[in-house]
Structure 1
Amino acid sequence: MSNEPTRRGTRRNTVVRVGILVWLALVWIALWGDLSVANLLGGLMVAALIMVALPLPRVPVAGRLSLLPLIELLMASAYYALESSLQVAWLAIRPAPMPVSGVLRVYSGTRSDLVLVLWADLLNLIPGTMVLEIDRRRCVVYVHVLDVGSAGAVDKFYRTTRRLERLLIEGLERSTGWPFARPTSPPEVPQ
């Protein structure tokens, strides 16, 4: 009975390693643009070499996957990326001066490094935003935002970030027993 968690951890570790190996091999094939047996074998060899020579640090994962929030997260992030792309394109061609841009501080409500990194990646995928700094100790993310010229634009940015973070937490973290600490600082509005 006591070996069950160890076996489960070993099995999970093996699945993760095989997944990374396959992913790196697929990236290799995509970079070459040719699906052949030689390319597949070469990709597997390069992937194995990368995994041995440049091992990634272990990220503690202590949660469960929840499918519905993850599906909603995929749809929401695709929507936000499309909407932001259209807004950035409009800002580039409209006959008006560029909007006021600025750096906004967003407090994170997660203690999971994995969720924090995925959240920062999602924020970087949204055109017009770029994560500049992550202060892990204080759970603060500093994001450069293209349009902070109005309270409505700033409010929309904060609503978007909160929704993406909430969906990541619901989709990846355990539902009970997790010490969430949401700072209650109000969003900063540029002057």
Structure 2
Amino acid sequence: MRSSRRCCTREAPMAERKQMRRARRFALRALIPTQLSLGLLWFFLWGEWSWSSVLMGLVIATIIPMVFYLPPVGAGERIHVGWVLWYVLRLFIDIVKASFIVAGQAFGIGYSRDNAVIGVRLRTTSDIILTVVAESSTLVPGTLVIDVDRESRDLYLHVFSVRSPEQLEKARKDVLHTEELAILAIGSPEEVRMIREARAARTVAAASDADAAGPDGAAGADASAKGKGRR
């Protein structure tokens, strides 16, 4: 019994040490590209080649991540090229459509003095996707992300020229749709599976609603046709 307990107590610190080593390696891998990019930025801003400027750039690139510490970002994201291209295309289309709408509102076409702030809770746990969705929503004219709650994954948007509650619901659905496309483009396998299951459930629900409303709609149409024939 004592020997088994000793083995368990030895294995626990060894597992913790391995986990700490992996965390240090991951932090080092994430820090090196940051240092190199900041060093290159310093070099280009300096404008001339010299060993002193290179060393100073490396020193500053080392100090900045330590002083302005950022929380660790998960490394579970995977890039899916097809969905990335589709995401960029949809974002471009949304920007163009919203630009024409806002331009028309500047001339009084469909303009309303009422504005609103709405909150949208995202489903992702990735800080990268949270940032991508927030930036994309801000790029589309007519909506502006004014606050982000990282803990609850809430985005708070200012919606311009609100004419009806349906417009607010559409803005909320647009943000959630943007999140879905972002997850399919750069999300982890778990979140991609979650989005695909949610989409499949929505498709089944829509099909069942259409089947349920189909006979009633047909009966209503037949009744109205018979009424017109009697008249």
Amino acid corresponding to residue 37 of structure 1 in structure 2: W
Shift of the alpha carbon at 1:43?
4.6
Match of 1:157 in 2: 171
CA distance in 1, matches of 2:31, 2:167: 42
1:27-176 matches, within 5 Å, as 27-28=41-42, 32=45, 36-37=48-49, 41=54, 43-92=57-106, 94-95=107-108, 98-99=111-112, 100-136=114-150, 138-150=152-164, 153-154=167-168, 156-176=170-190
Structure 2, unaligned runs of 5 or more? 1-14, 199-231
Q: Is the 8 A contact 2:73 2:126 kept in 1?
A: no
- Partner SS, residue 64 of structure 1: coil
d(CA) in 2 for partners of 1:89 and 1:23?
Answer: 39
CA–CA separation in structure 2 for the residues paired with 1:83 and 1:35: 41
C-alpha distance 140-56 of structure 1, shift in aligned 2 (>3 A): closer
> TM-score, length-normalised on structure 2?
0.57
Question: What is the deviation of 1:166?
Answer: 0.7
Q: Quick check: which has more Rg, 1 or 2?
A: 2
TM-score by length of 1: 0.66
Q: Residues 126 and 24 (structure 1 numbering): CA distance in 2 closer, same or farther, change over 3 Å?
A: farther
Q: Which ranges in structure 1 are unaligned for 5 or more consecutive residues?
A: 183-191
Structure ranking higher on relative contact order (CA contacts 8 Å, 6+ apart): 1
Across the aligned residues of Structure 1 and Structure 2, the Cα RMSD in angstroms comes to 3.9
Contact 1:61 1:114 (C-alpha < 8 Å) held by counterparts: no
Bigger helix share: 2
Give the 3 Å change call, closer, same or farther, for CA 40–172 of structure 1 in structure 2: farther
- Aligned with 1:130: secondary structure? strand
Aligned residues between the structures? 178
> Counterpart of 1:185?
none
How far did 1:146 drift? 0.9
Determine the C-alpha separation between the residues in 1 that align with 2:102 and 2:144.
13
